[in-house]
Amino acid sequence: MRFKVGSSSTLGVCVALMVSTPAALADTAFVTNEKDNTVSVIDTEKLEVIKTFKVGQRPRGIILSKDGKWLIICASDDNIVQIYDSRTYEFIKSLPSGPDPELLILHPSGNPLYIANEDDNLVTVVDIKQGKILTDIPVGVEPEGMGMSPDGKVLVNTSETTNMAHFISTVTNKTFDNVLVDSRPRVAIFNHSGSQLWVSSEVGGTVTVINPADRKIVGKINFKIPGITREAIQPVGVRITKDDKKAYVALGPANRVAIVNTETLKVEKYLLVGQRVWQLAFTPNDKLLFTTNGTSNDVSIIDVDRQKVIKSIRTGRYPWGVVVAPF
């Protein structure tokens, strides 16, 4: 939280601390707007868009560099990855990728960058310092989801048409196992201990939980929302809290985010958000969760402790990806 201390008394500061919002420290959320070719910058304390800046065409996946200085964005229709300064929003450089890059993930060491190119069935490995392609890893058709194990040894890519989660060694850059999941897998994410891998299947309407050690499926989560057809339930974005107790799953046109107990794999609650919710991002302290709502052109903000949607704020058209920076 940003305090204007100035000449205010200690008492004033104390009062301000007492009434502070769940986001005890102000962070900044960045949202890519797929149709506007812009990024909306959101102050997580005021919950307002404070700036919108132009980026490449059809921005989708967005992440932060390890030091937080760079915003790394897939400009899908430009067939490149762009880097912007996360504080000044100035363009720094482009990185090469394959055609139609969609999602990307950094190695925990901060380099290299792994990019899923939707159109050439490859995962491109790029050195972000030198700005050059190190190698391409063949995967299934329409690669998209990118998950990295906490120790950085295993990369998991999902291919939307092959319906598989491909396990890739980051040492050899080769696929060493494949797991068949339900139709159109979109997102893969490891929990923080590395004991579970969650893969969402958009058309299958399920989330598959895999044990990364033996690549066996340990559970499958189905979603049932009264009054919503099964076809409208399309899981995409998945995020897991730092304590690994709860997973949040964006359910696309069902306009809901499901809260799932990671131990029982049961849905505990559905939260109503905007239309066609796809990607999610926690603030660094796990207090707030941002959801991008593609067709209602807004972002909903969930108070994680209270499990309540506290606000929805307008962004550009077709908000797609979201990342939160700790400043």
Out of 11, 19, 214, 226, the residue judged to bind other proteins by CB under 8 A:
226
Show the binding pattern over residues 181-220: x = contacts other proteins (CB under 8 A), - = does not: ----------------------------------------
Out of 192, 242, 308, 317, the residue judged to bind other proteins by CB under 8 A:
308
SS3 236: coil
Over the range 199-213, which residues count as b (16 or more CB within 10 Å of their CB) and which as e? Answer: bbbbebbbbbbbebe
Q: Which helix H or strand E contains 199, and what residues bound it? A: strand 197-201
Residue whose C-alpha is closest to residue 146's, from 188, 185, 206: 188
State the minimum distance, in angstroms, from the CB of residue 300 to other proteins: 6
State the minimum distance, in angstroms, from the CB of residue 272 to other proteins: 5
- The piece of 53-61, 109-117, 206-214, 224-232 that touches other proteins (CB under 8 A) is 224-232
Out of 275, 284, 285, 286, the residue judged to bind other proteins by CB under 8 A:
275
- The piece of 59-67, 175-183, 235-243, 310-318 that touches other proteins (CB under 8 A) is 310-318
The token pair at 158 is 């999902």
Contact between 161 and other proteins by CB under 8 A: the answer reads no
Contact between 255 and other proteins by CB under 8 A: the answer reads yes
Contact between 253 and other proteins by CB under 8 A: the answer reads no
State the minimum distance, in angstroms, from the CB of residue 232 to other proteins: 10
The total of other beta-carbon atoms located within 10 Å of residue 48's CB is 12
Out of 174, 272, 305, 317, the residue judged to bind other proteins by CB under 8 A:
272
State the minimum distance, in angstroms, from the CB of residue 230 to other proteins: 14
| 112: preceding bond cis by omega (within 30 degrees) | yes
Q: In a 10 Å sphere around its CB, with 0-12 CB exposed, 13-18 middle and 19+ buried, how is residue 18 labelled? A: exposed
Contact between 311 and other proteins by CB under 8 A: the answer reads yes
SS3 78: helix
Backbone angles phi, psi at 300, to 5 degrees: -100, 145
Contact between 296 and other proteins by CB under 8 A: the answer reads yes
**Cα dist. 9→1, 13, 20, 21 in Å?**
17, 7, 17, 20
Contact between 6 and other proteins by CB under 8 A: the answer reads no
Going by their DSSP bridges, the two strands 38-43 and 28-33 should be labelled as antiparallel
Show the binding pattern over residues 7-46: x = contacts other proteins (CB under 8 A), - = does not: ----------------------------------------
Contact between 140 and other proteins by CB under 8 A: the answer reads no
Judge contact between 39 and 71, C-beta under 8 A.
yes
DSSP 285-315: TSSEEEEEETTTTEEEEEETTTTEEEEEEE-
State the minimum distance, in angstroms, from the CB of residue 312 to other proteins: 4
- The piece of 12-20, 85-93, 173-181, 304-312 that touches other proteins (CB under 8 A) is 304-312
DSSP 253: T
Out of 300, 304, 318, 325, the residue judged to bind other proteins by CB under 8 A:
300
Out of 92, 133, 217, 228, the residue judged to bind other proteins by CB under 8 A:
228
Residues that bind other proteins (CB under 8 A): 226-228, 255, 272-275, 296, 298, 300-301, 308-312
